[in-house]
Chains A and B, each alone.
Chain A
Amino acid sequence: MFVELNNLLNTTPDRAEQGKLTLLCDAKTDGSFLVHHFLSFYLKANCKVCFVALIQSFSHYSIVGQKLGVSLTMARERGQLVFLEGLKSAVDVVFQAQKEPQPLQFLREANAGNLKPLFEFVREALKPVDSGEARWTYPVLLVDDLSVLLSLGMGAVAVLDFIHYCRATVCWELKGNMVVLVHDSGDAEDEENDILLNGLSHQSHLILRAEGLATGFCRDVHGQLRILWRRPSQSTAQRDQSFTYQYKIQDKSVSFFAKGMSPAVL
């Protein structure tokens, strides 16, 4: 959890909004620091988190989480974190025939299937346990990242359907939050990715866009973050707010500053 980013977004773990879909997107840079931020943020907010990690292994998130002050292994043991390690699951699915349907079952199918098993997994993970006492505040679904599903043969429409089902369950029914990461391919003309990104941009309440600097690589400023608040359900009478900041990633935190106000320049 980056304290400066919390200030910019005007939230703290105690009083975060519920029922929101946050879209993280990165263009020409690596936006994974935002995923680490939200993971540690929601774990500190005592939420039940389902993390669909498709691109990196558990130990990667765990080691970075330790730098940010959360322990993923402890959270998993407590039952606060349900972690789907996509890489390991894919290897199991491809090399061994499993009896019950796996979340990444579509890898075995020749033609484009759908993401229903994955949705079932998410719903199972986040369904409220009737134990009487409310241990966790609200459920949260984190996906890192959705563009990988396109690379694995899913169509953009199938992925949008999956997000729609998840939103209906997690955001509306269970009053939880969702955070998804999508890569922006920029000028690589990835049509499926553009469809996915545009579709999600219209559905989300908050868009965080990490971009590389237009002038190229810089040692002191790693990129630019654009924050866009949206109200998708209401009419467009209220204008969407948008802010832009530049950032520099350090070992355990990220510092944000206004454009051109990097400490290295001043």
Chain B
Amino acid sequence: MAAVATCDSVAGSTGSAVATASKRNVTSFQKRGPRASGTNDSGPRLVSIAGTRPSVRNGQLLVSTGLPALDQLLGGGLAVGTVLLIEEDKYNIYSPLLFKYFLAEGIVNGHTLLVASAKEDPANILQELPAPLLDDKCKKEFDEDVYNHKTPESNIKMKIAWRYQLLPKMEQIGPVSSSRFGHYYDASKRMPQELIEASNWHGFFLPEKISSTLKVEPCSLTPGYTKLLQFIQNIIYEEGFDGSNPQKKQRNILRIGIQNLGSPLWGDDICCAENGGNSHSLTKFLYVLRGLLRTSLSACIITMPTHLIQNKAIIARVTNLSDIVVGLESFIGSERETNPLYKDYHGLIHIRQIPRLNNLICDESDVKDLAFKLKRKLFTIEWVQDNYLRQERNIYPPGFSYLLKQKDSAWGEGSLQHSTFLMSFLAKATAFASRLVRHSEPLKQNGSGRIRQAAGPRLWHDGRRQEAPGLLGIPP
């Protein structure tokens, strides 16, 4: 199990794998990597392609989506051979950002790009990619950002934040200095021209391609989809991403980005009519695309305006045919914009589906209330914490006294801190409520440690306390 395989030996082994595969008349690409079934192997060998890493759970090869926070929520990254479907937000403001982060990550890692759009020329899309934050510059800017948010309440925040120490961290603040997986990007700057020119990219702009006379196979897809599929298949075969081309031995990842798939600009009418004539075009396209991806070293991001699709059944079918589905919901124009709970955020992000690849289980995150915000430069994803505080206030209504039982194993070290947390926030609540309660004499102590007179409830009819036994003697 060599940790790092040299180019020659890995290329040699894939060559032999392809040769034996063709002997057995199997054309599916079976690279001797973490994804192969490998019954004859001594064990999976790590394939050393730039910008990828094997998953901890099942050795699946992962690429970064361009947002380290999103990578963490998806269980480490996007698996090679799968589709990431982004359900666009209503005004298509934030989904192009995710699209661009994905492509920018490809350029930084030296992957080959394939950008397909019916609206914008791919060359223009590439000009607008965000600039990567390099290590030393990055640290300085992170400190800057953290400083701006420091308030006097940060001390109290630390105590409350402890409660959530057990929940997984949302993102590592500050870059890992020599990270080859997952970079941070500055949304306010453009990617330097030399990086774009040094990269290998292919563009598919529908208005240009639709008029050319490529040989079209008879298929019931709309012509736009058919052309796109042929284009993708051509690139995969020509550049050797599926290992079937004997002249080309490719050890790189192909990142495919398709923008606004399903919109009327692609010639599809699912956004216009409920039961159009082409209702199966999109799902067929996704199926054949899945077939192409599964047998090649590629990863795909698709943004789709699902809020426009009239027939809800199609959305369910599209979800079943995609691997990862992430939905974006921005607050612009909705009543949530004025909700104080969401005042720091720009929208919600829903992880609707995560695939179970090569496994019975998947790495589903426990945290479901996620919100994103686009700070000056960075796109961050956090979970909306106030929900939890609100729920706890309902469990411990103010006006009652509580005995905090300290369980040994429940919170590890720090049950003292837990009680500090509750005390600090109950103190706020009871300070308000206690002025409504009449404080009586402290209960009589008979010296042996047992209180002779137990505190009775003495409640009013609506359940509020009439009397609370004071713990301290009231000074006369």
Contact = CB atoms under 8 A, between A and B. Distances in A.
Interface of A: 30, 32-33, 36, 55-60, 62-64, 66-67, 71-74, 85-88, 90-91, 94-95, 97, 107-111, 147-148, 150-153, 183, 185, 188-193, 216-217, 219, 249-252, 254
Contacts of A254: 360
A158 B283 CA distance: 18
B280 A152 contact: yes
Interface in B170-227: 217-220
Interface stretch (B110-118, B138-146, B312-320): B312-320
A152 B284 contact: yes
Interface string B359-392: 1110010101000000000000000000000000
A58 B295 CA distance: 11
29 contacts: A36-B360, A55-B320, A63-B58, A63-B358, A64-B359, A66-B39, A73-B37, A87-B291, A88-B27, A88-B295, A90-B287, A90-B291, A91-B295, A94-B217, A107-B219, A107-B284, A108-B217, A108-B218, A110-B219, A148-B287, A148-B321, A151-B287, A189-B312, A190-B313, A190-B316, A191-B313, A192-B313, A249-B361, A252-B360
**Closest 7 CB pairs between A and B?**
A190-B313, A87-B291, A151-B283, A188-B316, A153-B280, A91-B291, A63-B358
Given A56-B357, A91-B288, A107-B219, 10 more contacts: A64-B358, A66-B39, A87-B290, A87-B294, A88-B27, A109-B220, A148-B321, A152-B280, A153-B280, A189-B312
Size category, B interface = 35 or more
A59 B295 contact: no
Contact of B220 (A55, A153, A189, A249): A153
A147 B313 CA distance: 12
Contacts of B356: 30, 32
A217 B367 CA distance: 10
B28 A85 contact: yes
A189 B317 CA distance: 11
B434 interface: no
B220 A188 contact: no
A59 B30 contact: yes
Nearest to B59: A63
Contacts of B368: 216-217
- Could you tell me the dominant secondary structure of chain A's interface residues? helix
B417 interface: no
A94 B291 CA distance: 11
B233 interface: yes
A95 B233 contact: yes
Contacts of B230: 95
A110 B218 contact: yes
A91 B292 contact: yes
A58 B180 CA distance: 31
B229 interface: yes
B36 interface: yes
B316 A185 contact: yes
B317 A151 contact: yes
B28 A58 contact: yes
A110 B312 contact: no
A152 B288 CA distance: 10
A90 B316 contact: no
B465 interface: no
B321 A151 contact: yes
B35 interface: yes
B397 to A, nearest CB: 23
Given A71-B39, A153-B280, A190-B313, A251 B361 contact: yes
B317 A57 contact: no
Nearest to B24: A77
A193 B360 contact: no
A151 B320 contact: yes
Contact of A59 (B37, B283, B288, B291): B37
A66 B361 contact: no
Interface string B286-325: 0110111011000000000000000011011100110000
Contacts of A64: 358-360
B220 A111 contact: yes
B220 A110 contact: yes
Given A85-B28, A151-B284, A217-B368, A188 B360 contact: no
Contacts of B292: 91
B317 A147 contact: yes
B58 A73 contact: no
B220 A183 contact: no
Contacts of B35: 59
B219 A249 contact: no
Contact of B358 (A59, A71, A97, A152): A59
B284 A153 contact: yes
Given A87-B291, A148-B321, A189 B313 contact: yes
Contacts of B229: 94
A111 B277 CA distance: 10
B360 A62 contact: no
A85, A87, A193, A251 interface centre (most CB from chain B within 10 Å): A87
Contact of B360 (A147, A183, A251): A251
